Structure 1
Amino acid sequence: MTEAALEELARQALERCRAAVVRLALVEACTGGLLCEKLTAVSGASAVVERGFIPYSYESKVEQLGVSLALLQAHGSVSAEAVEALAQGALARSTADWVVAETGIAGPGGGTPQKPVGLAFVAVLQRGGQSTVERHVFTGDRAEVRRAIAGRVLSLLLERLDAPASS
C-alpha cells in the first residue's frame, strides 16, 4: 500500500466516522502510532479519535489494557486471541464507540516458521457488538508491512461501519 493510498483511506475512515458520530480508540501494537498519525493529519480528527494505545511490550499490554499475561504466554502477542483482548481492553478503558486494534511482526527480524515476518492480526470491535478478527501475512519491507497493516485496519473499519446493523 502506498503512502498516498493509506492517507486516502484514513481520510475516508475519518469522514465516515464523523458522519456516523463515531468515537474511535486505536490499539497499535505493531504500527506504533502510524494509524493515529494518518487519522490526526486530517482536519477534524478530534471529533473522531478518542484515544490511542501503543502497547509494544508484554508489560504494556498487561498494564495499559488488562490483557492477561497467561493469554500472552499461551498464544503470543501476535495472535487472534491477543488482538481481541487488546480491543476489549481498549473498549473497557475508553469512552469510544468503536476500537480498531492490530498486532504483528513488521520485520525484518522477529519471524519464525509458525509466525513469519508480515504476519498480522487486526480487529474491529463496536461497543455492545462482536469483534471481527482477521489474520493476514503481508509482504514487503518494514515500512510496507506497517502501511499494509494500517490500511487493512482502516478498510475493515469502513466495512464494519457500512455493514447493516444486526438485529
Structure 2
Amino acid sequence: MIETTTECLSFRELTQADLPALKLILQDEATMFAYEHAFSDEEVQAWLDKQLGNYAQFGYGLWAVISKESGELIGQCGLTPQQVRDQTVLEIGYLFRRDCWHQGHATEAARAVKQYAFDQLKAYSIIRDNNLASMNVAIRNGMQVLDRIEKHYYGMTMPHYVFGMVNPQIKES
C-alpha cells in the first residue's frame, strides 16, 4: 500500500465506496478520449474490481488521489502491470476529473508515484500516441520515450509510446 503524500495530494487504495467518484472520471467522454469512449456503469465497476484485484495480487494498483484542500477524490494515479513486447512492465498511470485538469495535479501525483516506484520497483508510463497532455506529464516527470508499441482495445489498434526513466545515480558505461 502506498504511504506517501505530496504538498496538495494524498493517496489511498480505492474502495467500493469510491464508485460514484470514479464514475465522474470514467464516464466523462473528454477524460476518456484515449480509450475511445466513456465507460458504462459495468465497465466502471470492472475497472474498480481490477484495481482491488491488483492490490490483492501485486500490492499496488491505481490509487485514489485525494485533494488535501477539499478532501475529495479528484483522480487516480498509480501502478499497473502492462505488456510491452515480451515483458511485463509497471506503468505509471493517471486519470483526473476534468474540472481538476491544468492545475498540476497529474504531474504532482505522477512524480510521487514515480518516486515510490523508483524506490520500490521499476515503472513505465504507456501513453497513447495522441495523448499529448499525458506525454507532457511524463516528460515533466523526468521520463523519456523508450519504445513505441501497439495495444489493442475495443477491436482497434492504437499506437502507444513507452516512457521510462533512467536512474540518475547509475552511470551508464
Q: Which has the higher contact order (CA 8 A, sep 6+)?
A: 1
| Structure number, greater radius of gyration | 2
Q: TM-score, normalised by structure 1?
A: 0.30
TM-score normalised by L of structure 2: 0.29
Question: Larger strand proportion, structure 1 or 2?
Answer: 2
More helix by share: 1
